[in-house]
Amino acid sequence: MSETENPTTPPDSTPIDSTRIDSTPSDQFDFDLFVIGTGPGGEGAAMQARKGGMRVGVAERYRQIGGGCTHWGTIPSKALRYTITNVMNVLKNPMFRELGIHATPSMEQLRRGTASIIAKQVSMRQSFYDRNSVPIFSGTASFVDEHTIQIHGENYTSKNFVIATGSRPYRPSSVDFSHPRIFDSDTILDVKDRPSSITIYGAGVIGTEYASMFRNLGIKVNLVNTRSKLLEFLDEEIIDALAYHLRDQGVVLRHDEAVERIEGCDDGVILHLKSGKQLKTDILLWANGRSGNTEELGLENVGLTPNSRGQLEVDEQFQTAQPNIYAVGDVIGYPSLASAAYTQGRAAAMHMLGRIDGNLRINDIPTGIYTSPEISSVGKTERELTAACIPYEVGHSQFKSLARAQITGSTVGMLKLLFHRDTKEILGVHCFGANASEIIHIGQAVMSGPCNSLEYFIETTFNYPTMAEAYRVAALNGYNRLF
Ligand SMILES: Cc1cc2nc3c(=O)[nH]c(=O)nc-3n(C[C@H](O)[C@H](O)[C@H](O)COP(=O)(O)OP(=O)(O)OC[C@H]3O[C@@H](n4cnc5c(N)ncnc54)[C@H](O)[C@@H]3O)c2cc1C
């Protein structure tokens, strides 16, 4: 591998965008691109720009690179989930019970593996910057003007900027986050004692993922939803399945609720709801929304104004109202995923390089939700297809009928294909169950390729036994509905 190669960035072969013309000579600036933030959004932009021959600098205010993704979001939460699942699978196994093995691992024990995974991620990601000669400036960056940034009193100039400063949990002033029993999604990772009960306020992706995790540990969970359904952006059947399985596992779901006040006590936290209900548990996790990290950026000096949630508005090319300043990742809001942030960062850099985003499929981002059961989807939902009057048909495959699922004991789950009844084109893939977030990519690959048709799955030989076989079963199931 050559000095500048980065295994996470593919070669650039996209066409030139003739609309992106900026004749300012870049050698009048210290950098061609300066990126603020080293999460997936910042890394994607920095590496793509470097591959295109740009001089790139990066700022990071945290002591280590990697962003919220590595230190207090995706990586720690998924590492903890994996440990909890493995430990509980062993402890629930009848063979261990027979041997008299009982244990209640502490939170500290469950968290132990997480630190080493974070360290590996940081070291690997740091090597990308080092090998590609991208200097990282440690400190909080703020704009002086549209071509100048200041870090620790030093000014640096750049032709372009990417703001990839991420987000943090939204903290309303009415909630006392200094109370030792009240947490948000950043601080919950440090919970010291294993609680016997938890109330989670907010049933978005983060809230439902933590509800699953705590329930798997045998902790009593109240999941309080401010809306009438869980994760409304998902396909209806998947929403129903998630609600059914969470309830089946013992999570108490409360829909259409709103907080009146939160009372922190010595022995617990009481959530007072506007409906008159009161829920008392050992601890409370506030998981209701996020705010973009924009207030330290000196945006007033470049004429940019974030919305009430601190998020920046961008166009399709991720340019803000100041065209040489781009913004990507959580700081621009939905979908607020590490996967999307990385792709957006790359797309912004490509645009600066004068290239059209030909292959990044930025509007075709899959969802991956690490609840129990795991959920993943790509493409349209039944609701969207019905609203658009597209004549579609459905094919299902239940995991319980697959040999591989029976062998591994992962029989909870389903794969669902939505396809056009005339052209057989696959329009949406929705899955829940073990490894759904991996399984979905088979459907995504076929959907985005030249052989996007139900027939691909009917005519293809799948390894046996595999979970991938679900695609053939679902395709045949759907095909048999046609007349
Ligand atoms: C609990 C939890 C679980 C999640 N699970 C998943 C998941 O499973 N899959 C998934 O795809 N996504 C997941 N996410 C979302 C994912 O973590 C974010 O979408 C992703 O981190 C956003 O990347 P980013 O680059 O925009 O910002 P971040 O990763 O937050 O990085 C922003 C960086 O900018 C730095 N910064 C901020 N301001 C400045 C400044 N002024 N100067 C210098 N540096 C600055 C910050 O220190 C930070 O390092 C999860 C999030 C949470 C909270």
Q: pLDDT, tens digit, for every residue of 125-167?
A: 999 999 999 999 999 999 999 999 999 999 999 999 999 999 9
Burial tier of 448 (Cβ tally within 10 Å: 0-12, 13-18, 19+): middle
User: Could you give the 3-state DSSP secondary structure of residue 436?
Assistant: helix
Q: Looking at residue 95, what is its pLDDT?
A: 85
Whether 141 lines ligand 1, by a CB cut-off of 6 Å, is: yes
22 versus 339: the higher-pLDDT residue is 339
pLDDT at 13: 46
Mutate to test the pocket of ligand 1, among 63, 69, 122, 318 (most ligand atoms within 8 A of CB): 69
CA of 142, closest atom in ligand 1: 41
With 0-12 / 13-18 / 19 or more C-beta atoms within 10 angstroms meaning exposed / middle / buried, residue 209 is buried
Question: Average pLDDT in the 227-235 region?
Answer: 96
- Write out the two tokens for 290: 């996020």
Nearest CA to 436 among 379, 369, 385, 387?
369
Q: How far is CA 115 from the centre of its chain?
A: 20
The percent of residues in the chain predicted with pLDDT above 70, rounded, is 94
Q: Whose CA is nearest to atom 4 of ligand 1?
A: 74
pLDDT per position as a tens digit, 365-415: 999 999 999 999 999 999 999 999 999 999 999 999 999 999 999 999 999
Mutate to test the pocket of ligand 1, among 34, 74, 293 (most ligand atoms within 8 A of CB): 74
Range of lowest pLDDT (36-45, 107-116, 303-312, 405-414): 107-116
pLDDT at 435 over 50: yes
Dist CA 293 CA 296 (whole Å): 7
Question: What is the enclosing helix (H) or strand (E) of 410?
Answer: none
Cis peptide before 7 (omega within 30 of 0): no
Whether the predicted pLDDT of 297 surpasses 50: yes
Question: Comparing C-alpha atoms, which of 383, 379, 366 is closest to residue 437?
Answer: 366
Q: Which atom of ligand 1 is nearest to the CA of 189?
A: 1
Q: Is the CB of 82 under 6 A from ligand 1?
A: no
Nearest protein Cα to ligand 1, atom 17: 69
Read off the pLDDT of each residue in 457-462 and give the average, rounded to a whole number.
Answer: 95
68 lines ligand 1 (CB under 6 A): yes
368 marked as binding residue: no
40 pocket-lining for ligand 1 (C-beta < 6 Å): yes
pLDDT score recorded for residue 24: 57
Output the pLDDT for position 27.
Answer: 79
Q: Could you tell me the CA-to-CA distances from 372 to 184, 246, 409 in Å, in that order?
A: 21, 8, 14
Determine the Cα–Cα distance for residues 426 and 474; give it in Å rounded to an integer. Answer: 12
Look at residues 369, 411, 99 and name the one whose alpha carbon lies nearest to residue 90: 99
Q: Are 128 and 45 in contact (CB under 8 A)?
A: no
Q: Could you give the angle at the alpha carbon of 199 between the alpha carbons of 197 and 200, nearest 5°? A: 135
Residue 371 annotated as lining a ligand binding site: no
Q: What is the pLDDT of residues 321-371, one digit of tens each?
A: 999 999 999 999 999 999 999 999 999 999 999 876 656 777 789 999 999
- Does the beta carbon of 338 lie inside 6 Å of ligand 1? yes
- Domains by residue range for the chain, with CATH: 1-169+289-365 (3.50.50.60), 182-288 (3.50.50.60), 373-479 (3.30.390.30)
* pLDDT, tens digit, 9 for 90 and up, residues 255-279: 999 999 999 999 999 999 999 999 9
What is the average pLDDT score of the chain?
93
Cβ neighbourhood burial of 371 (10 Å; 0-12, 13-18, 19+): buried
Q: Specify whether the CB–CB gap between 58 and 34 falls below 8 A.
A: yes
pLDDT at 253: 98
How many residues are there in the chain?
A: 483
Interval between CA 41 and ligand 1 midpoint (Å): 8
pLDDT of residue 357: 61
Task: Compute the average pLDDT of residues 103-108.
Answer: 88
Which residue would you say has higher pLDDT here, 190 or 405? 405
Structure tokens at 284: 């409370």
Does the CB atom of residue 163 touch ligand 1 within 6 A? no
Note the pLDDT tens digit of each residue in 49-95. 999 999 999 999 999 999 999 999 999 999 999 999 998 888 888 88
Mean pLDDT of 167-174: 96
Nearest to 284 by CA among 177, 403, 165, 170: 177
Cis status, amide bond into 465, omega within 30 of 0: yes
How many whole angstroms separate alpha carbon 429 and alpha carbon 458? 15
Q: What is the 3-state secondary structure (H, E, C) of 179-246?
A: CCCEEECCHHHHCCCCCCEEEEECCCHHHHHHHHHHHHCCCEEEEECCCCCCCCCCCHHHHHHHHHHH
The answer to whether 210 and 287 are in contact (CB under 8 A) is yes
